[in-house]
Amino acid sequence: MKTVISIQSHVAYGYVGNRAAVFPLQRLGCDAIAVNTVQFSNHTGYGEWTGQVFTAEHVADLMDGVAARGVLPICDALLSGYMGDVGLGRVIVETAARLKAANPRAVYACDPVMGDVGRGFFVRPGLPEFIRDHAVPAADLMTPNQFELEYLTGRTVETLDDALAATAALRERGPRLVLVTSLTRKDADPGHIEMLADDRDGAWLVSTPRLPLDPPPNGSGDAVAALFLAHYLKAFDPAEALEQAAAAIYAIFQTTRRMGTRELQLIAAQDEFVNPSQRFTATRVR
């Protein structure tokens, strides 16, 4: 059994942040230790919410308590998502260093939650620069969407060659593996959406049909990062992890659409995490 610390946001209603990551991790056999950076009634996409943002000191204090239980030497990975502000980002990067000191084989998986195509940045000023300059060099695995990949590398991604150049540029700055969680390019079928996994040994592309979800459900990137990490930790096989994550998130989207809700239907689709009814083949592109 793998152990994963997940430092992300938390909502009482709905599925984003840790609510989108912890259950998939657990369903795939990981012991997930959830450390919450905020506690909101619901995700902010609704336009109104209640709750609080936790301070960096609060999260650091929680991590001290977790470390005191002797967890770090047996922990296999740290997964981080929405950071909130630069102070909290520093705590997360310091936690990654602390984990690696206790277990050099541990993986720091950073989902650089900053913005998206069409929305632009939706995080506090200074955080994108912090992620670019500090989180990227500390990470082993980065899971940006296309907007975040372009920002982190300063490159425009319109073709597959562009995407491969950008993931290579990002790997040069620290991460050994990059997963682009949503890729839309001019030289591909517009009826499909892709994910791209790129490490030093190769790159793999997987394509799934684009489903009409309006509005698109929040938290899909959080879920994909967790699904990919859980499968990657089993055998450190990027292609297999990519295929499994693609199959699971597609099934989640299908179930969400069928049930007519804007919240990811993780519970209803949970068996698809383990035994997907539809598989998508990852094609080697480098």
Residues in binding site: 9, 111, 148, 222
Using DSSP's 3-state secondary structure scheme, residue 150 falls into helix
Kindly tell me the sign of the dihedral angle through the C-alpha atoms of 131, 16, 94, 51. positive
Q: Which residues pair with 40 in a beta bridge?
A: 11, 51
Using DSSP's 3-state secondary structure scheme, residue 72 falls into helix
Residue type (1 letter), 179: L
CA distance 172 to 175: 7
Token pair 């597959």 in the structure block, residue: 160
Give the Å distances, CA to CA, from 276 to 247, 252, 273: 6, 10, 6
Q: How far is CA 20 from the centre of its chain?
A: 10
Return binding residues for substrate.
9, 222
Please give the sequence-ordered ranges of beta strands (E in DSSP) within the chain, or none if there are none. Answer: 2-11, 30-40, 51-53, 77-80, 107-110, 115-116, 120-121, 141-142, 177-183, 192-199, 202-209, 283-284
Return binding residues for ATP.
111, 148
